[in-house]
Amino acid sequence: MSNRFKRRDFLKGTVAAGAATAIPLSLVELSWGMGSQPQASDAQDFTFAYISDSHLTQVKGTEFNENFDGGLKRAVTELNFMSPKPDFVVYGGDLSQLGKAEELDHGLEIMSGIRNLDVKWVIGEHDYYLDLGRYWQDNVSDLHYSFDHKGVHFVVLNSILTFDEWTHNRWPSAMERMKQMARLDNPEGSPFMVGETQREWLRKDLANVSRSTPIVVLSHSPLYQVYRPWNFWTEDAKEVQALLQPFDRVNVLHGHVHQIMYNQIGNITFQAMMATAWPWPYPESYAQHDNAIPKTTVFMNRADPHNSRDGTGWGSVDLISGRETIHHTLWRNTNRTIAYDADAGHPVDTKYQDPADRIPPQNHY
Amino acid sequence: MPRPTAWLAGAALLLASAGPAAAAFDPQEPPLGLPPVPVPADNPVTQAKADLGEQLFNDKRFSGDGTIACASCHQPDNAFTDDLPIAKGINDQKGTRHTPTVVNAVYYETQFWDGRRDSLETQALDPLVNPVEHGLESHDAVLEVIRGDDGYTRQFREVFGVAPGDITMDHVTKAIAAFERTQVSGSSPFDRYRYGGEEDAISESAKRGLKIFRNKGRCVDCHTIEQNYATFTDNDFHNLGVGWDRIGDEVFALVDSFRKMKKEGGDADIDTTILTDGKVAELGRFTVSLDPQDVGRFKTPTLRNVAVTAPYMHDGSEQTLMDVVEFYDKGGNANPLLDGGIKELDLTDQEKQDLVAFLKTLTSPRFSDLADNGGK
Amino acid sequence: MISNRLLRLAPAPVVLASLVLALGTRPAAADEFTKQDLADWQQQFKSVAEKGEALFHSAELGTNGHSCDGCHPDAADTHPETYPKYQQQIGEVVELRNMINWCIENPLEGEPLPLDSDKLLQLEAYINWERRGVAMAPGKH
């Protein structure tokens, strides 16, 4: 296949990319960690859909922000057009903007338009910090859980917890706490984490999973560290990764960053999924601070702010031999496919990975 | 037989559209406000070819009953359109789409409201054999007429160096396209104001309207104006919700059955289906790309001469310019695939009037008498 | 305490200037600014930029509860170094303040600010401050 990216070529390409597009040297190098060969597994190949980050916002009463409603409704409609149908759909978190019951109910109503598919829910910080996940647990789903599907073990984490002091003692009201967490560039913000209790749960959950079973971890925030000031970050990422280390094939899918981003750390592939609401800038575009955007990532096209759907979208995930291939449906832009390259040992964009194939809109600065 | 009147009229048209200084059509010297005219390497424009194309364009014999020419809907004296919401073809049959103007159509990268043809040449093929347009069984009838007409055979020999028996639809469509390429017009009051430096070319109201067009009206992102010229189209496809109510929830079934039909090889009849099936017609660009994102999307038309090409939208559903402004002001017609650029505008009455005043300045001098009569 | 040497050697206006300086007011000669002046003037700029930062993060510019940082955290992706430039959304070459107004009018659904308004100046000061050190690139898309 001509779009299979050889490791050598990729490394060469990376250097060229550094020269041609001036990617900052602070970007994280891949750690290849090939180690031992993966064992065969019984897992089947299948597809599931992924919608995330809708940030539905109540204006007043039953009036909601039309822009954000429009994004989620569009994703639901296009999901209904999907043929053949996926096995289920994951909702990646931040269904609501401020965690209000009205917003969550509104989101559940729109999502109920999905035809004949189960939804697996992941909570985001915007859903959590008003009432610490109470309404979510009562009406949407558990905060963390696991399930098996066709030989693949899925783990859903609540990765947007933070220090107890910030959560319980810092703010005069629940809404104030929620609004503080809602601001991305908040100097008073606090880093996300999975936390010790949940890590212990995870350790026990994985204890009975065989090494060769493919694993998919669903979390809202990335389970690695990209950019702390905007909470593109999980504080205890290393500890979580260590728990996932013994397994041959691990895939992490997350939202929160509202942009295309992908990485490989040892045996773990990380994929960011798009938001239906709005795009975030890449941390590279803030000149006063270092960042650790994975060098692999070919950026999504820059968005035209005139069009509310530019820079937004949803996706589907093919699990093939236990590795994920991501199909990003990008509204107003050519769709992108990012597949795991077994020879190279990391994900590559099937069209644009080679810097010579990049297009101007992928150049952010 | 040569047709001197037609030739003179053609030359006059060429002069008027090419601008005051040009003696002949020069794609590199377009009228004020327009970019150079795109001309494909395999079909350069010459006077003789354009004249031939014009004759073909006006010839009613290229129809099932001898009553329909291209010019029947694309009426040259009426800014190349027909004043109807939906075009009517042979035996008064209605299609599903509003007739687009030929003027400045050369600047489109695709032709038809859903872009299903990628050039003026290939577009010219379809209406001839569409049962609700010209109603010919096949293109053979066109070639029969041409080969039996001495005037045509002489011109085809002159222009293409081809013997009568060797005339093909490729030659025919090249000639028609060459004529259409000469139908460009700029030098409108807007062009003189914006690109000609004439401060007084448009009214104060229209100047305010231009500002609204760029800012609060949110028009310019699709109806493009550039620093040195303006085509008023981004050559892209957008869903405003026009006509969505004709399909509504049926959209899933329609998409499924259209996909099935394509899979089973129902390719050849797309043109007929689109102009005869009112519901499939509303699927828009999807019928060409098969991408569900494109459901309900239609091509951004140029706004040049918009004041004299009413009614508006792909189904002619908006009668006047003010109707169009009101449509955008309310945020189009809500549907799950509404374009992300469309939202409520909250324009004041004054702003709406200013916007309409601006749109009226986009009429080229050639059509200004139509504007006086139409007053839309 | 002004040194005797300075009094003997310096011409009269300079002596006057030195006296004035010693009293803590501005020198008469335009190029005689001091490190303190630089610090003061930088602080004046920063006070304007701080007002801009507050505006940038407040919902008062629009009518729908959104603020600039909702798409531009830390003023990222504003690219002040590229202005004036052809702005696709407006269809002509414009300055940063025209685009700020476009954003106020469109995503924030507010009223554009008069071009000579203090608020625009504050926003520009903040946006430029967050992009300090980046080379000028006028016209770059």
CA–CA gap between residue A101 and residue A105 (Å, rounded) = 6
Question: What pLDDT shows up at residue B275?
Answer: 93
CA–CA gap between residue A165 and residue A149 (Å, rounded) = 38
Please indicate, yes or no, if residue B345 is contained in any of the structural domains. yes
Question: What pLDDT shows up at residue C28?
Answer: 53
Domain termination site, one of B232, B267, B295: B295
**Whole-number percent of chain A with pLDDT over 70:** 90
Question: What pLDDT shows up at residue A68?
Answer: 96
Residue A31 — pLDDT band, cuts 50, 70, 90? Answer: very low
- DSSP per position, A113-155: TS-S--EEE---HHHHTTTTTHHHHHHT--SSEEEEETTEEEE
Nearest by CB: A185 against C69, C89, C131: C69
Give chain C positions within 8 Å (CB) of B328. none
- Does the pLDDT value for residue B354 go beyond 50? yes
Do residue B281 and residue B217 come from a single domain? no
**Whole-number percent of chain A with pLDDT over 90:** 87
Do residue B346 and residue B322 come from a single domain? yes
Residue among A138, B206, B215 at smallest CA distance from C110: B215
Distance from the B257 Cα atom to the nearest Cα atom in chain A, whole angstroms = 12
- Does the pLDDT value for residue C16 go beyond 80? no
Residue among A187, A334, A230 at smallest CA distance from C71: A230
Pair type for strands A215-219 and A250-254? parallel
Summarised one tens digit per residue, pLDDT across range B224-270 is: 999 999 999 999 999 999 999 999 989 999 999 999 988 887 666 78
Task: Confirm or reject contact between C88 and chain B (CB < 8 A).
Answer: yes
**Whole-number percent of chain B with pLDDT over 70:** 91
pLDDT greater at residue C6 or residue B174: B174
CB B320 within 8 A of CB B376: yes
Please indicate, yes or no, if residue B282 is contained in any of the structural domains. yes
Q: φ, ψ for residue B307 (rounded to 5)?
A: -65, -20
Do residue B118 and residue B140 come from a single domain? yes
Find the residue in B nearest to A310 (Cα). Answer: B340
- Does the pLDDT value for residue B201 go beyond 80? yes
What is the mean predicted confidence (pLDDT) over C67-86? 97
Question: What pLDDT shows up at residue B373?
Answer: 52
Residue C27 — pLDDT band, cuts 50, 70, 90? Answer: low
Nearest by CB: A184 against C69, C79, C132: C69
Using DSSP's 3-state secondary structure scheme, residue B7 falls into: helix
Question: What pLDDT shows up at residue B264?
Answer: 86
Do residue B217 and residue B343 come from a single domain? yes
What is the mean predicted confidence (pLDDT) over C98-116? 96
Give chain A positions within 8 Å (CB) of C88. 304, 306
Chains in touch with C (3+ beta-carbon pairs under 8 Å) read A, B
CA–CA gap between residue A104 and residue A141 (Å, rounded) = 12
Contact C92 B225 (CB under 8 A): yes
B328 DSSP 8-state letter:
H
What is the mean predicted confidence (pLDDT) over A111-131? 97
Please indicate, yes or no, if residue B12 is contained in any of the structural domains. no
Summarised one tens digit per residue, pLDDT across range B41-94 is: 999 999 999 999 999 999 999 999 999 999 999 999 999 999 999 999 999 999
Residue B18 — pLDDT band, cuts 50, 70, 90? Answer: very low
Please indicate, yes or no, if residue B88 is contained in any of the structural domains. yes
Summarised one tens digit per residue, pLDDT across range B104-116 is: 999 999 999 999 9
- Does the pLDDT value for residue A276 go beyond 50? yes
**Whole-number percent of chain B with pLDDT over 90:** 87
Do residue B217 and residue B304 come from a single domain? yes
- Does the pLDDT value for residue A3 go beyond 50? no
Question: What pLDDT shows up at residue A201?
Answer: 98
Task: Confirm or reject contact between A314 and chain C (CB < 8 A).
Answer: no
Do residue B287 and residue B322 come from a single domain? no
The number of angstroms, rounded, from the C-alpha of B144 to the middle of its chain's C-alpha atoms is: 28
Please indicate, yes or no, if residue B59 is contained in any of the structural domains. yes
Find the residue in A nearest to B297 (Cα). Answer: A332
Do residue B346 and residue B260 come from a single domain? no
Question: What pLDDT shows up at residue B19?
Answer: 37
CA–CA gap between residue A2 and residue B235 (Å, rounded) = 32
Question: What pLDDT shows up at residue C102?
Answer: 96
Residue A40 — pLDDT band, cuts 50, 70, 90? Answer: confident
Contact A77 B259 (CB under 8 A): no
Residue among B166, B164, B134 at smallest CA distance from B65: B134
Domain termination site, one of B163, B182, B201: B182
Distances (CA, A) of A282 to A268, A310, B153, C132: 22, 15, 64, 18
Do residue B74 and residue B164 come from a single domain? yes
Please indicate, yes or no, if residue B168 is contained in any of the structural domains. yes
Do residue B88 and residue B213 come from a single domain? no
CA–CA gap between residue A176 and residue C39 (Å, rounded) = 36
ipTM of the complex: 0.86
Please indicate, yes or no, if residue B285 is contained in any of the structural domains. yes
Question: What pLDDT shows up at residue C9?
Answer: 47
Residue among B149, B179, B167, B212 at smallest CA distance from B353: B212
Which domains are delineated in chain A? 46-360 (3.60.21.10)
- Does the pLDDT value for residue B374 go beyond 60? no
Give chain B positions within 8 Å (CB) of C105. 215-216
Residue A75 — pLDDT band, cuts 50, 70, 90? Answer: very high
- Does the pLDDT value for residue B9 go beyond 60? no
Do residue B57 and residue B93 come from a single domain? yes
DSSP H or E segment with residue B237: strand B237-238
Give chain B positions within 8 Å (CB) of C112. 215
pLDDT greater at residue C2 or residue B234: B234
What is the mean predicted confidence (pLDDT) over A100-116? 97
Range of the domain at B140: 47-182
Question: What pLDDT shows up at residue B25?
Answer: 83
Please indicate, yes or no, if residue B6 is contained in any of the structural domains. no
Question: What pLDDT shows up at residue C90?
Answer: 93
Using N-to-C axis directions, what is the helix angle for A66-81 and A101-111, rounded to 10°?
A: 30
Question: What pLDDT shows up at residue C26?
Answer: 59
Q: Domain of B57: which CATH number? A: 1.10.760.10
Summarised one tens digit per residue, pLDDT across range B26-40 is: 999 999 999 999 999
Overall number of domains in chain B? 3
Do residue B152 and residue B288 come from a single domain? no
Residue B9, classified by CB atoms within 10 Å of its CB into exposed (0-12), middle (13-18) or buried (19+), is middle
The number of angstroms, rounded, from the C-alpha of A270 to the middle of its chain's C-alpha atoms is: 8
Do residue B176 and residue B66 come from a single domain? yes
Name the average pLDDT for chain A.
Answer: 90
Using DSSP's 3-state secondary structure scheme, residue A269 falls into: strand
